[in-house]
């Protein structure tokens, strides 16, 4: 179980680095992906459920990581907010995503891309 949690976090870190590349080199596509959050029942609940997998992995692996308190807090925060999103009406979730997609211009996606790279790299470093 511990090894599975570790590799789930590594895959999540790689995913975040990939998201960083998407935001940097295809900011309009990244913006369109954000616009789809919560847009259908399938997307809404798949997104929330998939988010819970690395969150649970962080809680499980916290004591073995380089930053146990950070992993414990972040993992539980992601799990609890995911559970809240399960009960929030889908239209509200989608409306919130649309609002932020309007606020975050393509240039802003490019400016925040390095943070996605950094966070993904920190997650990988913390477990390898």
| Model confidence pLDDT, tens digit, residues 80-104 | 999 999 999 999 999 999 999 999 9
| Model confidence pLDDT, tens digit, residues 24-47 | 999 999 999 999 999 999 999 999
Please return the burial class of 127, using the count of CB atoms within 10 Å of its CB with bins 0-12, 13-18 and 19+: buried
Contact 64, 4 (CB under 8 A): no
H or E element that contains 33: helix 27-36
CA geometry: angle at 58 spanning 54 and 59, to 5°? 120
The whole-angstrom separation of Cα 99 and Cα 69 is 32
In this prediction the pTM is: 0.93
State the sign of the Cα–Cα–Cα–Cα dihedral 115, 20, 16, 47. Answer: positive
């Amino acid at each position: 179980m511990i090894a599975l949690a570790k590799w789930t976090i590594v895959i999540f870190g790689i995913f975040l680095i990939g998201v960083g590349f998407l935001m940097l080199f295809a900011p309009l596509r990244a913006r369109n992906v954000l616009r789809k959050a919560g847009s259908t029942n399938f997307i809404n609940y798949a997104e929330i459920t998939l988010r819970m997998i690395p969150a649970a992995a962080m809680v499980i692996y916290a004591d073995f990581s380089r930053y146990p308190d950070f992993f414990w807090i972040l993992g539980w925060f992601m799990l609890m907010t995911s559970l809240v999103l399960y009960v929030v009406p889908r239209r509200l979730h989608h409306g919130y995503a649309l609002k932020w997609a309007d606020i975050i211009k393509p240039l802003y996606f490019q400016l925040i891309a390095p943070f996605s790279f950094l966070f993904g790299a920190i997650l990988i470093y913390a477990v390898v």
